[in-house]
Amino acid sequence: MKIKVKGIYKHYKGDYYIVEDVAYNSENEERMVVYRALYGDNKLWVRSEKMFFDIVNKNNQKYRFELQDIKSKHQ
C-alpha cells in the first residue's frame, strides 16, 4: 500500500488522523509515517509504514489505518 501524504486515515478504534509526511529512520532507513491526531490536543505521532498498515480485522477494518474518501461539500 502507498501512503497518501495529507490523506485522512481512520484508525480501527475509530479516531481520525492526517498523514503529515513520510520520514526515514536514521539507523536503518526504514520508512516512517508521521501523522497527526484530528482530535484532542492534535498530538503528532510516528509509526513504521509496515505497522501503519498492519492487518487487524477489527471494527469493520482490515488494516490498522485506512484511507478515507472524504468529498468536498463544494463538488
Grid cell, residue 11, equals 484508525
Q: Is the pLDDT assigned to residue 18 strictly greater than 70?
A: yes
Domain coverage including residue 27: 8-67
- Say how many domains are in the chain: 1
Q: What local confidence, expressed as pLDDT, does residue 11 receive? A: 98
Q: Is the pLDDT assigned to residue 75 strictly greater than 80?
A: no
Q: Does a structural domain hold residue 16? A: yes
The whole-chain average pLDDT of the chain stands at: 96
The SS3 of residue 53 is: coil
Q: Is the pLDDT assigned to residue 72 strictly greater than 90?
A: no
Half-sphere exposure for 15 (CA within 13 Å, toward CB)? 10
CATH number for the domain harbouring residue 34: 2.30.30.320
DSSP state of 50: H
pLDDT tens for 32-50 read 999 999 999 999 999 999 9
Please give the model's pTM, rounded to 2 decimal places: 0.90
Q: Does a structural domain hold residue 13? A: yes
Name the phi and psi angles at 49, rounded to 5. Answer: -60, -40
